[in-house]
Structure 1
Amino acid sequence: MPQVYAMNGGNGPQSYNQNSSFQRGAVEVAKELIKEEIDKELDVKQLSSTSVHPFRIADFGCSTGPNTFVAMKVIREALEEKLRKEGLASEVPEFQVFFNDHISNDFNTLFASLPQERHYLAAGVPGDFHKVLLPKASLHFAHSSCSLHWLSDVPKEVTDNTSPAWNKGKIHYGGAKKEVLEVYASQFAKDLESFLNARAHELVDGGLMALVIPAVLDAIRESQTTIVTEKELEVLGYCLMDLAKKVRFH
């Protein structure tokens, strides 16, 4: 079984709640684009005539909040505005939101911090989002932000000392051999295909997805990005290796 790692729970200084401003920024950046696409692409008349209520939304990789609550509010309000524009203001449906993350996610913190004025029914769906988690054709809108770049498993080749892609002592592939990059890229492609196949099973005809995936274009210099640099990852890797040695010898 692959190792499963969830974000730090609770509300302490090391928690995801207190250390997710970068992810919050991604939600804010995507906000207007999501509104535009719902307004342009979502056929509310078809959905209201062919689908049963309520309108179901899922956030895959929700962690513990509060960013997921912001995204769900944006989607719900955009749909209500679309209905008003289409002259269907009287047909605003009930909303049901499914919050998904690994089974080890701190769902207690998530549900304890749900906004009181949220205007939707909430449910937790623990499990790997690379697999089917909801019934066929039951979901209207799938959302995932800053989650899909996490791989389902470490490629076996990078831990095999007989493989050309052996990545001894490194926690990243920046500056590594092309074989290392290729096996990580292959794993990402497999994971993304699994995710899309699962959502194809769950989404209704005419449903939408909004996927926000952190990435850096090849043409952008490292110094122009706000992500952790290759050198910083290298230093962090050395620190973790030293820590692991101390733990082993003690």
Structure 2
Amino acid sequence: MGLSEAYPMKGGDGPHSYAKNSTLQGHVIEVAKEVMKETIAEKLDMGAFNCSKTINIADLGCSVGPNAFAAVETIIEAVRSKYGSESLSSQIPQFQVFFNDHVSNDFNLLFTSLPRDKQYYAAGVPGSFYERLFPEASLHLVHSSNSLHWLSRVPEEVTNKNSPAWNKGRIDCANSGEEVIRAYKAQRERDMEKFLQLRAQEVVNGGLMLLNFGFNPNGTHPSQCVSNLYLDLIGSSLMDLARKGRISEEKVDSFNLPIYFMTPKEMEAAVERNGCFSIERMETLPSRPRGNGGNQSLDHQMAAHVRAAMEDTITQRFGEDIMDEFLDLYRKKVREIFIPFIAKSAGDKGDSLLVVLKRKY
């Protein structure tokens, strides 16, 4: 597949860093906590450990850590409880946790912020999860949250002016033509095929993967997907700046994010094609953000998240001087478009999908 494109979150621990502005992603992990514990208790096959003295856990797409640490602690707590429920507390192995992300991730901050009371050994594994990362049959549990919506790269067709899938004036596929959506979907299928193929080599027979990611509900057009609305508002804010002459419209035309939100059916089809995993659980979780306890309005919270997640990518393409103006436009669109949209869909369960896969024997 060649090298994967990297879009790192903002490093460091400054006021605009991802470490200080990832509460939305943290909420997804918090909501999934009890479901993850319950699933490990019910689905984890103790035979997968095969008398191993060490249980190897990988967190894929860990970023700078605060949320990954919470997820890992939940998994370890659940495994310990599993041993206890089978009267094997005296036989609990040691835990080795591998934190994975792109080479450009701020691993320095990740390591300096590791919990002092952690009950595991920690190591960093740099590289894309669309590449081979671990030795054969070496992982017992794999976790990934808020990461699998990222593709390995932008589909080539959407930036080609001569292609029917040229995505002029937009940075994602949600409100684009069917050709653009098909190009993104095809890239998603190739990437997921690779992801499952690689993990099938790395995960032990009976091992579990707990994958939590934004998704598009079955039968819903991408333009009506809450997760896609985040991206669409970023793109329309950039186009507003282009109309004002603040940035080049041509640059917006060539700027696309490698993000695609799968439907549950698309995930099921990918697992079936791969054939190495069984779906043990798949359910939506009520993870939609509602603001930070009243201390920070949703529009400011989302703008802070976008800045932490996208500032480096946006400023590299369009320059640093537009960031504040861009965020003002984005906040306004959240108030006028996003908040009314989610108010109308208040009865929905959420926009996060938890999928638990078991490596077949």
| TM-score in terms of structure 1 length | 0.91
Question: Which amino acid letter does the alignment assign opposite residue 110 of structure 1?
Answer: L
2:204 counterpart SS class = strand
- Check conservation: 1:222, 1:229, Cα contact below 8 A: no
- Check conservation: 1:175, 1:230, Cα contact below 8 A: no
1:206 counterpart SS class = strand
Question: Which amino acid letter does the alignment assign opposite residue 79 of structure 1?
Answer: V
Question: Which amino acid letter does the alignment assign opposite residue 116 of structure 2?
Answer: Q
Deviation track 1:38-66 (CA, whole Å, cap 9, x = no partner) reads 1111122x134x25221000000000020
Question: Which amino acid letter does the alignment assign opposite residue 31 of structure 2?
Answer: V
Aligned to 2:91: 91
Matches within 5 A, 1:1-250: 1-44=3-46, 46-48=47-49, 50-217=50-217, 218-219=219-220, 225=226, 228-229=229-230, 232-239=233-240, 241=242, 243-245=246-248
Measured after TM superposition, the shift of residue 169 of structure 1 is 2.5
Deviation track 1:139-168 (CA, whole Å, cap 9, x = no partner) reads 000110010101110101001111110002
| Separation in 1, partners of 2:90, 2:71 | 24
Pick which of 110-119 and 189-198 moved more: 189-198
Question: Which amino acid letter does the alignment assign opposite residue 149 of structure 1?
Answer: H
| Separation in 2, partners of 1:193, 1:221 | 21
Measured after TM superposition, the shift of residue 188 of structure 1 is 1.0
Pick which of 216-225 and 69-78 moved more: 216-225
| Separation in 2, partners of 1:240, 1:192 | 35
Measured after TM superposition, the shift of residue 243 of structure 1 is 4.7
Distance 1:231 1:72, change over 3 A: closer
- Check conservation: 2:137, 2:204, Cα contact below 8 A: yes
1:213 counterpart SS class = strand
| Separation in 1, partners of 2:193, 2:54 | 28
**Aligned residue pairs, count:** 246
- Check conservation: 2:4, 2:128, Cα contact below 8 A: no
The two structures, once aligned, show a CA RMSD in angstroms of: 2.3
| Separation in 2, partners of 1:220, 1:32 | 30
- Check conservation: 2:170, 2:236, Cα contact below 8 A: no
| Separation in 1, partners of 2:152, 2:110 | 23
